[in-house]
Amino acid sequence: MQQGLFNAPDSKSTPLAHQVRPESRQDYEGFDALAKRFPFLRGENIPSLIIWGPPGSGKTTLAKVLGHEINANFYEFSAVLSGVADLKKLIHKAQEESQDYQRKSIIFIDEIHRFNKAQQDALLPHVEQGSFILIGATTENPRRSVNRALLSRMKIIELKSFSTEKIRSLITKTVEKLERKLSKEHLDLICDYANGDARIALGSLEVIYSLDEDVDFETVKNIIKENSRNFDAGGDRHYDVISAFIKSMRGSDPNSAILWLAVMLDGGEDPVFIARRLVIFASEDVGNADLNALTVATNALHVVQNIGMPEARITLAQATTYLASTVKSNAAYMAINEALAYVEDSQTIEVPEHLKNFPDKYHKVKYQYPHSFDGSFVRQQYSPEGTPKFYHPKEIGVENNIKKRLSELWGD
C-alpha cells in the first residue's frame, strides 16, 4: 500500500481547516459580497459585532481576518468553558495591552448565546465605552439569545451556509495551495455532502488525502457521507426540523413527516421530546375530529418513555403516520385561545347564582339536573349573559357528529 495522499508536515496535530484558514480579506471566500452588505468590514474602524450563522459558515475565520487586517490584539474566550471572573481578567488584560502598545484589542467570544445575564452585563459598560472590540459568534438568532441592551450596541453580521459553487471554489483553492491533486469525482463527492459547511468540506478533503490510493470510491463515499450530517440539537436547526415535522403532519403528508422524524432521530434528538410534541399535536391539530388520536399519542409517549431507542422509533413512526394521515380540526385549540383572550380582557366573571356550589335557596333561578330530563338534557344558562361562542366544531370526522348534536340541542 502507498502512503496516504495527504502529507503536510503538521497534519497529524492540526486539522486541515485550521492550516488553510485565510488571514486576509481577499483570501476569505465570499468577502466581497459580504462587504457590499456591510461596507464597514473594509475599514479600519470595525464596530463590535455579532456574527451569526450555521456551523462551518466562517464565523471564527471572519473574526480573525478582521483582527489581522486592522492589526489588533486578538483574544479568544469560550462562553462554555469560562466564567465571569475569567472574563473580567481578560477584559483587564485587553485594556492594559491596548493602552501600553496603542493597538486595538478584539475579544472574540465563541458561542456567545450561551452567556448568562451576569456575563453579558459584565461586557456591557466596556462595549458602550469602546474599551475593546467585542466580536461574538453564535449559531442561534442573536435577537432571541443575546441581551437587548448588549445587542443594541453591536452590529449583526449574518452569514449563510456556503453554496455548492463556493464549496467547490474553496476546495479547489485549497488543493492548489497544498500543491496536491484531486479527481473531479472526489471534488464532486465533497461538494455533494458538505451541506454548505466549509469545515465539513475541508474535513472530507483531509479524509481523502489521508487514505491510501487503492481505497475504492464507494468506501470513501461511505466515510464522508457518515460524517456529513449535522443536526445541532438545541439550536436553530432543532427548532426548524421540529417545525417542519409538525407542519407536515398538519398538512396530512405522512411521507414528509416520517422524513423529518428520521432526521431528528438520526441527529440524536430526544425521542421523549418528539413523543410529547405528538401528544400536543393530537389535541391541537386533530382534536375532536378523531378521538383516537390522543390515545395513540399518549400511548406512544408511554411506550417511548419505557422502552427507549432504537425500538422506540417504531412506535414514533406509527404515531406519526397515524396523526399525519387522519382528519384534522383545531376547533378545541382555537376555543381555549379565544376563551382565554376573553377572560383576560374582561373583569372578574361572576358565576351565575344557580351554578354555584351553595346557591342562594331563595334565588328565583334554580339549577335543573339534566339527568332528570329526557336525553339527559335541559336548556338553561351556564355562563353570564352575553358570553360569546368559543367552540366552533368542524364538519369533519367525529367532530361533524358533535356539531350536529350541538345544533340540535342549542339550535345554532
- pLDDT of res. 163: 86
Contacts of 144 (CB under 8 A, 6+ apart): none
pLDDT beyond 60 at 218: yes
The model's pTM is: 0.55
With bands split at pLDDT 50, 70 and 90, how would you rate the model's confidence at 228? Answer: low
Residues of the chain with CATH 1.20.272.10: 236-325
Q: How many residues does the chain have?
A: 412
pLDDT at position 53: 87
Provide the pLDDT for residue 298.
96
Task: Considering the chain, tell me which residue range(s) the CATH 1.10.3710.10 domain(s) occupy.
Answer: 348-410
pLDDT at 80 over 70: no
List pLDDT tens digits, range 231-242: 555 556 777 888
Q: State how beta strands 133-138 and 73-78 pair.
A: unpaired
Q: Is the CATH number of domain 236-325 3.40.50.300?
A: no
Q: What is the 3-state secondary structure (H, E, C) of the chain?
A: CCCCCCCCCCCCCCCHHHHCCCCCHHHCCCHHHHHHHCHHHHCCCCCCEEEECCCCCCHHHHHHHHHHHCCCEEEEEECCCCCHHHHHHHHHHHHHHHHHHCCCEEEEEECHHHCCHHHHHHHHHHHHHCCCEEEEEECCCHHHHCCHHHHCCCEEEECCCCCHHHHHHHHHHHHHHHCCCCCHHHHHHHHHHCCCCHHHHHHHHHHHHHCCCCCCHHHHHHHHHHCCCCCCCCCHHHHHHHHHHHHHHHCCCHHHHHHHHHHHHHCCCCHHHHHHHHHHHHHHHHHHHCCHHHHHHHHHHHHHHHHCCCCHHHHHHHHHHHHHHCCCCCHHHHHHHHHHHHHHCCCCCCCCHHHCCCCCCCCCCCCCCHHHCHHHCCCCCCCCCCCCCCCCCCCCHHHHHHHHHHHHHHCC
Higher pLDDT, 296 or 218: 296
Predicted local distance difference test score (pLDDT) of residue 244: 92
Question: What are the pLDDT digits (tens) for 352-409?
Answer: 989 888 888 888 899 989 999 999 998 998 999 889 999 999 999 999 999 999 898 8
Mean pLDDT over each residue of the chain, to the nearest integer: 86
Residues of the chain with CATH 1.10.8.60: 164-226
Please report the pLDDT score of residue 293 as a whole number: 96
**Would you say domain 348-410 falls under CATH 1.10.10.10?**
no
Q: Which fold has domain 30-158?
A: Rossmann fold (3.40.50)
CA dihedral 128, 134, 138, 143 (to 10 degrees): 10
Region(s) of the chain under CATH 3.40.50.300: 30-158
Domain 164-226 is found in CATH 1.10.8.60: yes
Which of the residue ranges 168-172, 178-182, 218-222, 322-326 would you say has the lowest mean pLDDT?
Answer: 218-222
Mean pLDDT of 254-268: 91
Report the pLDDT value the prediction gives residue 3, as an integer from 0 to 100. 37
Q: Is residue 5's pLDDT more than 70?
A: no
Residue 310: phi and psi, rounded to 5, are -85, -10
Residue 286, pLDDT above cutoff 90: yes
Q: Are strands 133-138 and 155-158 parallel, antiparallel or unpaired?
A: unpaired
The pLDDT, as a whole number, for residue 17 is 77
Instruction: Provide the pLDDT for residue 50.
Output: 93
C-alpha cell at 74: 486578538
